[in-house]
Structure 1
Amino acid sequence: MVNNPIDDNPALNHSANETFPDADAYDPAVHAMRVSSPSAHIDMSLTAVIAAMVLGTTALITISVLPILLAALVSAGKIDTRAIGQIATGEMLGLATGSAFGAGLLRRGSFRLKILAAAAFLIAINIICWSIDAEIPLLLARTASGLLEGVLLAASMMVITYTKNPEKMNSYFMSASVVPMILCSYALPAEVTARGPDYAFTLLACFGVVSILAGLRLPVSFPVQTQDHRGDPAVLAPPWAKLGIFAVLVQFTATGAALTYAVQLAKEMSISDATVGVALAGLTISGMVSAFIVGWVGWKLKESVVLPLGALCQAITVAIMCYSHAPALYVTEMCLFGALWNGLITYALKMLIGLDPSRRLALLLQPVSMLGLAVGPLLASLVVGENDVTPAFASSAALYSFGGGLFLIVFGKIRSKDRRMVAT
């Protein structure tokens, strides 16, 4: 059994306030093992990991605040209902883009300084939004805000992904990040309705201040890979790794399609607004509980079993939702939907780390999930009728099933490779 170079070398252990050494300050071979081996992790203080989770939470909070904010902008006469989807898509795509390219931006130079700068610009944009009254400037401002939020999310995921137990830490992060979302969903609608959209912009700016405080507890810089390992098969992700990340994209596209039309489906089935509120709260809470359970004990289960089986359960869940005319059944289905959604994220992370031990592929989990949540509603809008949204759930079920099939192919490839390695 090969010893972990990080555990065996005290020089590679770092606290949240230390600067990581440059590549020429230590043996390049050790550096290559550190960032490219299956056990490639970076020892950080608990304070740094918690700060990363707080940073990621402030980036994701816009998901719960944005619908409330956009409704307030409509009530204030600053935008019309048509612009709601455009601005929401702009910010979500910005979030996906920022988190996709943020890791590359943050790897070199001052990790902490770039985080602080992104948070400062985010505060400034939300303050500027107080004085914007036109749709196009608002669209541009919220898209820019999404890009900065994506960079903060990328920083958070870089720290979490390179911890010793990334699956466990990611589950705790997903569970903890839901708590402020629940509070915002419960408390904000009445406050924003009474005080106007500027109140929501102020709240988002305050979250930017929290991002700065969290950023101060993160490492000054992040380790970079200076060695070219493209010719070394030991550190290469297999060709089907792209198929794995595509399967994740399909799963989140299905989630976005169903989630967007869940409330409208309830209205078409004459389910009361009070029941819908309970169902949405149940969806969020069940997702939090599911993520916590996975982080506590469930992360040890094999992703090769959980992901395909989970995709099948998701397909069945959204299919049954179309027939959930009874309020109790609708609430139950929404809770199951949320539990599966959040609970399976950790297993997707395990799969990506298994496919690419350098963990670069794992850093794409958040941007790909955001992209899927943004694309799903667009695809669903192409199939729904004027007074019938059930085709959105049928397409969602089909996508879940397709994604489950892709997972089976990926894990089949992995098992085939393992057998060949044993034979040789």
Structure 2
Amino acid sequence: MKILKAGADYSPDARSSIVAAVLLGIVANISFIIQPGLVGGFVEGLGLGEQQAGELAAAEMFGIAIATIVLSLASLKVNWRASFLFFSAVAIAGNLVSAYMTEFADLVLARLLSGLGHGGLISLSFSAVGLTSKTDRNIGIYLAVLLSYGAVGLLAMPSLMATIGLKGIFISFSLVVLIGIGLVGYLPDQAKNEEEVPEATEPLNIKLLVPALLGYLAYNISQGIVWAYLFLIGVSNGLEEQVVANALFVSQIFGVLGALIAIVVSARVVGRFAPLTIGILGGAVFIALLLLKVDYFIYLIAVCGFNLMWNKVLPFILAAISDFDLRGRVMPFALAIQMFGLAVGPYIASQIVGDGDYRAVELASIFFFVLGYILLIVPIMMRKKQQKLELKKAL
């Protein structure tokens, strides 16, 4: 088959390869990026409680995390295109099964299976972008396109729930994955080989890499804690479902703006410290607004600021982490950590959420924001200093 053929013609920086990776990113993230709407659908459409809805979101995210962890260990050895076909089949099966499950325990298993499939797709599409030479820019493009889909998806969720319901939504997910298979042949078939890496590449600095990855884990836990419940937080403050959906739609536009800022404002120009500090701690500040007496205006500012900071800083964090290893070995592992954090987050939130009270969820998110910043900023800045010294020696 053409899509399984080793692709010497498809370099990571080829335009066709980048476009395919970006479009497949939508296929891969099709449910996660509209997770607040799905969690709201679990409550409103299935009559589940807030804790069960959060556990369903966590089940899918744990499936995603497991798949990305497996691929982080195997990405240098497996054929990426064959893997994409396999995980596409798993994702299709998981979504179709989800459409017909009526018992909570069965639905948990179905969403776990779906997560396994989508996790593989996320890892492969994101890793393909991570191999490009202009990582900051291309991750920004990836996020901008993905968030554009997310904006439309969140806006349409109340209408979709009223017309086709969760069953129709899950079947639609399966159809999109099926269509996406046609793009697989434009992906690189594997990670970079040893001969493709500059001879001067330094070995991994584990003492700096480990705390950076732990910081990235904490940062994503903070995101996962609050992201799953953003829709319900709005509804709990007396806002109508469509009004909340509208606010989340606008927030996704701000997310696109954040990703575009990351495309335009290169870390080579502004450095790492300012974007990381503003992006991470700024996100904590916007979530803190939800601790106030929330009306529509405050909710809109909070969710828009949160999405802006999240998507502005994420390309800078990933580009900084990718600097630890030019072979591309760190990027799949970083993605696994990201997805594990986004799985742990909803689970933590589901265990501490009150009956219509989300204060503990918001406080936990803020705590992990700050912890992630502390763990990230020190090793990243030390690595940057180390690279400058290496450059001086080379000159």
TM, length-normalised to structure 1: 0.79
2:277 corresponds to 1:290? no
Mapped contact 1:278–1:331 kept (Cα < 8 A) = no
Whether 1:249 aligns to 2:236 is: no
SS class of match (1:410): helix
Q: Equivalents in 2 of 1:415, 1:74: separation in Å?
A: 46
Q: Is the 8 A contact 2:226 2:361 kept in 1?
A: yes
**Which residue of structure 2 lines up, in the alignment, with residue 29 of structure 1?**
none
2:330 alignment partner, one of 347, 361, 366 = 361
SS of structure 2 residue aligned to 1:239: helix
Distance change (3 Å), C-alpha of 1:262 and 1:348: same
Change (3 A) 1:164 1:80: same
Q: 1:323 to 1:167 in 2, by over 3 A?
A: same
CA radius of gyration, larger in = 1
Structure 1 residues 111 and 267, CA gap change in structure 2 (3 angstroms):
closer
Q: Number of residues paired by the alignment? A: 387
Matched, 1:62 2:31: yes
Hey, what does 1:19 align to over in structure 2? Answer: 6
> Aligned residue for 2:202?
234
TM (norm. structure 2) is: 0.84
Q: Which has the higher contact order (CA 8 A, sep 6+)?
A: 2
Alpha-carbon distance between aligned partners in 2 of 1:211 and 1:307, rounded to the nearest angstrom: 34
Matches of 1:360 and 1:385 in 2, distance apart?
Answer: 41
- Alpha-carbon contact 2:155-2:245 (below 8 Å) kept: no
Per the TM alignment, residue 412 of structure 1 is displaced from its structure 2 partner at its CA by 4.7
TM-superposition CA deviations, 1:122-166 (whole Å, max 9, x none): 323433444443333332222111111111111112211111111
Partner residue, 2:276: 307
AA paired with 1:389? Answer: Y
Q: How far apart, in 1, do the equivalents of 2:160 and 2:354 lie?
A: 34
Instruction: Supply the AA of the counterpart residue of 1:160.
Output: V
Q: More displaced, 371-380 or 63-72?
A: 63-72
Say if 2:278 is the partner of 1:278. no
Letter in 2 for 1:316: V
Q: Which amino acid aligns with 2:6?
A: T
Runs of 5+ consecutive residues of structure 1 not aligned to the other structure: 1-15, 22-40
| Aligned-residue offset at 1:199 | 1.1
The 3-state SS of whatever aligns with 1:61 is coil
Range with bigger deviation, 378-387 or 236-245: 378-387
Distance 1:71 1:275 in 2: 13
Give, in angstroms, the shift of residue 416 of structure 1.
6.0
Equivalent residue of 2:326, what SS?
A: coil
* CA-atom RMSD in angstroms: 3.4
What residue identity is the alignment partner of 1:240? L
* Match 1:328 to one of 297, 301, 304: 297
The question of whether the paired residues in 1 share the 8 Å contact of 2:4 and 2:81 is answered with no
Amino acid in the other structure paired with 1:133: T
194 and 209 in structure 1: CA distance in 2 versus 1, 3 angstrom threshold: same
The alpha-carbon deviation at position 248 of structure 1 amounts to 1.3
Paired position in structure 1 for 2:93? 124
Partner of 1:318: 287
Q: CA deviation at 1:353?
A: 1.6
Amino acid at match of 1:234: E
Whole-Å separation in 1 of the counterparts to 2:47 and 2:369: 38
Gap change, CA 1:197 and 1:337, over 3 Å in 2 = closer
Distance in 2 (CA, whole Å) between partners of 1:312 and 1:51 is 33
CA offset at residue 276 of structure 1?
Answer: 2.5
Question: How many angstroms apart in 1 are the aligned matches of 2:388 and 2:264?
Answer: 31
Deviation at 1:334, TM superposition (A): 1.6
Aligned: 1:161 with 2:130: yes
SS at match of 1:295: helix
Q: CA, structure 1 residues 17+234, in 2 after alignment: closer, same or farther (shift >3 Å)?
A: same
SS of the residue 2:202 aligns to: helix
Structure-1 separation of matches of 2:131 and 2:155:
34
Distance 1:324 1:50, change over 3 A: farther
Is residue 58–residue 347 contact of structure 2 (8 Å, CA) maintained in 1? no
Structure 2: stretches of 5+ with no match in the other structure: none
Distance 1:200 1:402, change over 3 A: same
Identity of aligned residues (%): 20
Q: Distance in 2 between matches of 1:137 and 1:385?
A: 25
